[in-house]
Amino acid sequence: MTAPFRIAGKGRLTPARVARFTFDGAGYAGLEGDTLASALLANGVHLVGRSFKYHRPRGFLSAGAEEPNALVGIHRDAARKTPNVRATVQELYDGLTAVSQNRWPSLKMDVGAVNDLASPFFSAGFYYKTFMWPKAAWKHLYEPQIRSAAGLGVAPDQPDPDHYAARYAHCDVLVVGGGAAGLAAALSAAEAGARVIIADEQAELGGALRFETGTNIEGKDGWAWASESAARLAAMDNVRLLTRTTAFGYYAQNFVGLVERVSDHLAAPLPDLPRERLWQVRARRVVLATGAIERHMVFPDNDRPGVMLASAARTYLNHYGVAVGKAVGVYTANDSAYHAAIDLKKAGVHVAAIVDLRDNPQGPAVDEARGLGIEISAGRAVTGVSGRQRISAMTVQPKNGGASRTIPVDALLTSAGWTPSVHLFSQSRGKVAFDEAGRRFLPGTYVQDCVSVGACNGTDELGALLGEAAIAGHAAAKAAGIKVGRVAKPKASTGERWAGGMLGAAPGAGADSKAKAFVDFQNDVTAKDIRQAVREGMRSIEHVKRFTTNGMATDQGKTSNLHGLAIAAETLGKPIPEVGLTTFRAPYTPVTFGAIVNHARGSLFDPTRRTAMHGWAEAQGAVFEDVGQWKRAWYFPRAGEDMHAAVDRECRTVRQSAGIFDASTLGKIEVVGPDAATFMELLYTNPWQKLAPGRCRYGIMLREDGFIYDDGVVGRLADDRFHVTTTTGGAARVMNHMEDYLQTEFPHLKVYLTSISEQWAVIAVQGPKSRDIIAPLVEGIDLSDAAMPHMSVREGRICGVPTRLFRMSFTGERGFEINVPADYGQAVWEAVWAEGEKHGACAYGTEAMHVLRAEKGYIIVGQETDGTVTPNDAGLDWAVGKKKTDFVGIRGLMRPDLVAPGRKQLVGLRTKDPKTVLEEGAQIVADPNQPVPMKMIGHVTSSYWSENCGHSIALALVADGRALTGKTLHVPMPDRTIEVEVTGTVFFDEKGERLDG
Amino acid sequence: MARTEAARKPVLGGRMANHAWVGVTPAEPAKRLSLRAPAESVASLSRTLGLKLPERPKQSVLKGDRAALWLGPDEWLLIDRAESNLDAAVDRVRVFHSAVDVSHRNVGILVEGQGAEATIAAGCPQDVSLQAFPVGACSRTVLGKIEIVLWRTGEAQFRVECWRSFADYAFTLLAEAARDANG
């Protein structure tokens, strides 16, 4: 099957294997190496989409990344449906399935096209003006309707089954763009010995040499030179050559984001192959060789399928061997489009006429076209086209008006000149400058260590471009610290002329015209929309852009920005530089979320931290709760138990026999050095100097402002060694807080801090049977009350492995905390469990732990405290060393508002109805009958059902609360007001006799 | 009351990710100390340890089974693969220092093969090329969303040290990155 528009012997694909594909269900054949665009054009298909707003039929404008029209859906399978893929970028593979977008019921018969007829109502700013009233209708009617009607492709509705990779890379010189300039720069830098990365968005390097036929470099055809140069670079150890890779973002300090399309062009990618790979490159020097993008001519109905850029037609012909039509017209304001006519004519395609806005075009290209017998219609304009879904003729008129003539054509190639691609330069925060002679913006002031070369720098002549690029590559290598020799510049014997052209609307699309002459194809912005925006008061180009949405589509106005600016400037009567250019933002072309997220999905989205005993708890059916990144066993339900039943049983068992609890997540810091006690004195409110080795103390840490920052039990292992524990959530920040003070305030102290949170697995055994449970397992430690009283620590062995054994309690019961090296955690736990079972002990989770400590009135930092609670507020004055003259927060505690009466103090609350459990966070009032808003005097910080007490218990912060003991307060809830009595904070074993029980 | 020693259960037991181009495997258990000391204590500590503590960024010293990795101006990570009684040796030193056992805090992961550099570079923003990060180089750095100590033990061999509860994340990320490290 020969595609009708493929020209035998033309292009670089043959011999190639046939790749079959479908578009909107119809089967076609293309060649391997085709893009979807070239394959469709080879089959004579121009109509590929409907425009965003007016649903106008659209064809291909370009042959590259700037494509605004030919956006299609690529469907690999039910889960892999990618919308808005540029058909000019998507490489063909066998079995590719593409569908058109933004049409219903079909591409050729689209109901939405009624918008085109109604277009007088859809002028610029339409949405801002129309959907104002009634206000509520926006949310419920207008927005949902507009959203369903708008948008192009359809987002996939299943999780993305592909995987995406990421790579950080560093180099001396990053070259962005692999055209003639990029290749020359990369060769020069690489041959000087620099580490080079060169990235190009195409499958092969070569850039514009892909379509230019008139170039000759180093005695070779331009494309052949490019291919050989690319091969040379690829063979060098100091070069990484990335194809199908777009530099999309230029960030601070030469950090450039690249996305490599790894497998979108493959029919059956291997499973280990990612779909895309994100490269995050840090480059000493960046060489921007991003080229230039051809502009279309702005004239009435310039969006009809068959109207395309001249360079695109050349690409399809010279690279893919595809003629874009049988009778082709050319409409231009510069020389470079002549080459399209010449190439097509030489390939045997009928070229109906070259219409040139210039009165007297001259030069080698003009002469050659004339010599080939092509009609040149100078001083004339194309003022219209016929044909809706494919053009059939162009209307040609003298540019200042006069009799028109209709010339039948099935393709019309236009060129208004070339726009240097300064996107990345602009993203690097470089300032562009307007080149008056060339009527274009070029890189002006550089902010980062980069340089622009070639067409993006306004260097059009090939010889000059190669020299500039080679020198820049060489200089970049030198600037990166490479010892370089002499620079070698590739020599160009012939090149093509890119300069010249025009900006703005062409004749027929002037201020008096009502015609639709498109500036921005993707957002359906016409020349008259821009004029209207100016008429309605937009003066800044930034306002014009937002009012019309010119340049705001996913193509970011690659073809439209300068035309839009020129029309706005003309309407304003100002020179272009005074109106200014809009800002370029990353990404240069759309980047998938997959590439940005890459590995960070599923279990790699965020680390999940598990303790050494996690597996045991999981096997026991524990329910876990998230505490920061940690998974902590919340409760251990047995058959038939709900959470309440399980927690009640766990709480009961701890006080009747014993409970075993995984306390491994608590932060632990080893404080070592001769000044360890002095350091502890400064960081905690408590006195430490006199704490004997082997003893423990509950410590409170304040911030400078006097508020509680963290707490925990600290054991003194030796004169110069403390084992500090912190809250689970505070582990990292307490370490940082301590290290901060050590390094900045107390650098004279001889002490070092080491995080040991994860060195030790911690098994808490709490309850009257706790000593009996651990005794058979412990070696070398006397567990008697006399030898090892409450709040002491010993080092010895348990189950044959080293332990730091703490006698301490967070339940009010006799208790131990067994620290063992983490890898032994589970084995020791299982041994403790086996002993515990003999005594009827249970495992308990964080919920029971919370209840048990609340029964004893022990605070939890972050629950009873909220960053505004002092030790006195929390009833912990006893933990503040009265004789101490300095510690972090001591001055804060003296602040007038911290010693004033009326502060909220921690109290207990008992509901009058013992079964009622208050809501944590509920507000407390003195008089429930006062008018709303009531005066709130406090709030509930902790509230539980206490199985051991037989009634509910709560802790609360209440203004002057301790003086209210015995008084009745009220907790208003939406459905009722709950009466509570203020009590002390200890609900169980007030005398603390059970610690030794 | 003689008891058999409780069984050790390494957090990455049984995990591995092997490709022709790179293998990711858990390192054997090792003795580790976090050593902190001022400059004036270095000579004495070096004598006791039997290796010269490195004093420049990114440097490590390996002698036999014992290695010292420079992590900061007064900080080293000592790794002894022989699980010798390293802390007892250091305890004998009378000059000011802090030696804290972190053998179980840290978990080692070996990344070895021609794709090792690319595997590491998937998550570590540092330049890990041979020029910038030669054999023996080490650094406390970042892998994805966690902190690691990275140590290049050979041209195509890295050792990643992370905290125990981050080992699953580190291993999973390295295994995922290894799939893409062929070339």
Structural domain span for residue A301: 296-416
CB contact, 8 Å: B14 with chain A? Answer: no
Supply the pLDDT for residue B90.
86
- Sheet of strand A393-398: strand arrangement: A380-386, A393-398, A405-408
pLDDT tens digit sequence for B83-112: 777 878 888 899 999 999 999 999 999 999
When comparing pLDDT for A125 and A573, which is higher?
A573
Residue A934 lies inside a defined structural domain of this protein: yes
The reply to whether A683 and A791 lie within a common domain is yes
Check CB contact under 8 Å for B100 and A757.
no
Task: Give residue A126's pLDDT.
Answer: 66
Is it the case that residue B1 has pLDDT exceeding 50?
Answer: no
Do A956 and A830 share a structural domain? no
What pLDDT digit, counting tens, does each position of A842-899 carry?
999 999 999 999 999 999 999 999 999 999 999 999 999 999 999 999 999 999 999 9
Say which amino acid occupies A622: A
Tell me which of A853, A868, A886 is where a domain ends.
Answer: A853
pLDDT of A137 strictly over 80: no
> Between the CA atoms of A424, A428, A431 and A436, what dihedral angle is there, to the nearest 10 degrees?
-20
User: What secondary structure does DSSP assign to A107-120, as a single string?
Assistant: SSSBGGGHHHHTGG
- Outline which parts of chain B fall under CATH 3.30.70.1520: 31-102
3-state secondary structure of A638: coil
Q: What region does A177 belong to: left with phi over 0, alpha with psi -120 to 50, or beta?
A: left
- Mean pLDDT of the residues in chain A: 95
Output the CA–CA distances (angstroms, integers) from residue A862 to A547, A684, A731, A859, A984, in the order listed.
49, 18, 13, 9, 20
Distance CA A788, CA A770 (A): 14
* Subunit contact B122:A274, Cβ cutoff 8 A: no
Domains of chain A: total: 6
Interchain contact, B165 vs A611, CB within 8 Å: yes
pLDDT band, residue B2 (cuts 50/70/90): very low
CB contact under 8 A, B105 and A831: no
Residues A863 and A989 in one domain: yes
| Residue of B85, B126, B176 to mutate for A, most A C-beta atoms under 10 A | B176
Does residue A877 share a domain with residue A820? no
Q: Across residues A249-273, what is the average pLDDT?
A: 96
Q: Closest Cα to residue A541, out of A519, A559, A567?
A: A567
Other Cβ atoms closer than 10 A to A658? 31
Please check whether residues A4 and A148 belong to one and the same domain: yes
Amino acid making up residue A132: M
pLDDT value for B169: 98
pLDDT tier, A133 (very low <50, low <70, confident <90, very high otherwise)? low
Reported confidence tier of residue A989, pLDDT bands at 50, 70, 90: very high
Q: What is the mean pLDDT of residues A544-568?
A: 93
Q: What is the pLDDT of residues A151-192, one digit of tens each?
A: 678 888 999 999 999 999 999 999 999 999 999 999 999 999
Looking at the structure, tell me whether residues A26 and A116 fall in a common domain.
Answer: yes
Instruction: Tell me the shortest Cα–Cα distance from B125 to chain A, in angstroms.
Output: 5
- A165 to chain B, any CB pair closer than 8 A? The answer is yes
Confirm whether A646 is domain-assigned. Answer: no
Q: CA A725, CA A666: separation in Å to the nearest integer?
A: 7
Q: Give me the residues of A, 93-132, that contact B with CB < 8 A.
A: none
pTM over 0.80? The answer is yes
Residue in A165, A606, A779 nearest the CB of B145: A606
Residue A674 covered by a domain: yes
Instruction: Specify the pLDDT at position A148.
Output: 61
In chain A, residues with a C-beta closer than 8 Å to the C-beta of B1 are 776, 779
The rounded distance, in Å, linking the Cα atoms of A308 and A933 is 69
- In this predicted complex, what is the ipTM? 0.97
Tell me, yes or no, whether A752 lies in a domain: yes
- Whether residues A604 and B169 touch (CB distance < 8 A) is answered with yes
Residue intervals of chain B classified under CATH 3.30.1360.120 are: 15-29+104-183
Residues in B closer than 8 angstroms to A272, CB to CB, are: 19, 179-180, 182
Quote the pLDDT of residue A127: 64
Name every chain A residue with its beta carbon within 8 A of the beta carbon of B182: 272
Judgement on whether residues A950 and A913 belong to the same structural domain of the protein: yes
Residue (of A502, A438, A498, A499) closest to A212 by Cα position: A498
Terminal alpha carbon distance of chain B: 58
% of chain A beyond a pLDDT of 90: 88
CA–CA distance, A978 with A954 (Å, rounded to integer): 13
Is residue A600, in this structure, part of any structural domain at all? no
Beta bridge partners of A938: A924, A958
Mean pLDDT of chain B: 95
pLDDT tens, B8-18? 999 999 999 99
Which pLDDT band holds residue A690 (cuts at 50, 70, 90)? very high
State pLDDT tens for residues B118-154.
999 999 999 999 999 999 999 999 999 999 999 999 9
CATH of domain B15-29+104-183: 3.30.1360.120
Residue A373 has pLDDT above 50, yes or no: yes
Do residues A123 and A4 share a domain?
yes
Question: What is the per-residue pLDDT across A226-260, written as a single tens digit (0 to 9) for each?
Answer: 999 999 999 999 999 999 999 999 999 999 999 99
Three-state DSSP class for A298?
Answer: strand
The pLDDT tens digits of the residues spanning B58-68 come to: 999 999 999 99
Q: Of A724, A717, A727, A789, nearest to A755 (Cα)?
A: A724
Whether residues A918 and A872 fall in one domain: yes
pLDDT at A384: 96
Q: Is the N-terminal amide bond of A933 cis, ω within 30° of 0? A: yes
CATH architecture of B31-102: 2-Layer Sandwich (3.30)
- Does residue A120 have a pLDDT over 90? no
d(CA A3, CA A185): 39
Q: Is the minimum CB–CB distance between B15 and chain A shorter than 8 Å?
A: no
| End position of a domain, from candidates A823, A853, A883 | A853
Contact yes or no for A758 and B164 at CB 8 A: yes
Q: Which residues of B touch A169 (CB under 8 A)?
A: 121
d(CA A753, CA B141): 19
- Chain A, window 744-803: residues with a beta carbon less than 8 angstroms from a chain B beta carbon: 750-752, 754-760, 776-777, 779, 798-801
pLDDT tens track for A800-848:
999 999 999 999 999 999 999 999 999 999 999 999 999 999 999 999 9
Mark whether A882 and A990 lie in a shared domain. yes
- Same domain flag for A509 and A465: no
Which two tokens mark A565? 């600016």
Query: Of B116, B158, B120, B90, which Cα lies nearest the Cα of B21?
Result: B116
Q: In this structure, what CATH number is given to the domain that contains residue A542?
A: 1.10.10.1100
The last residue of a domain, from among A853, A870, A888: A853
* Same domain as A849, residue A713: yes
Of the residues A164, A170, A618, A819, the best mutation for testing chain B's interface (the one with the most B CB atoms within 10 Å of its CB) is A170
How large is the average pLDDT for residues A912-936? 97
The yes-or-no verdict on residue A112 having pLDDT over 80 is: no
Tell me how crowded residue A593 is: count the other CB atoms within 10 A of its CB: 10
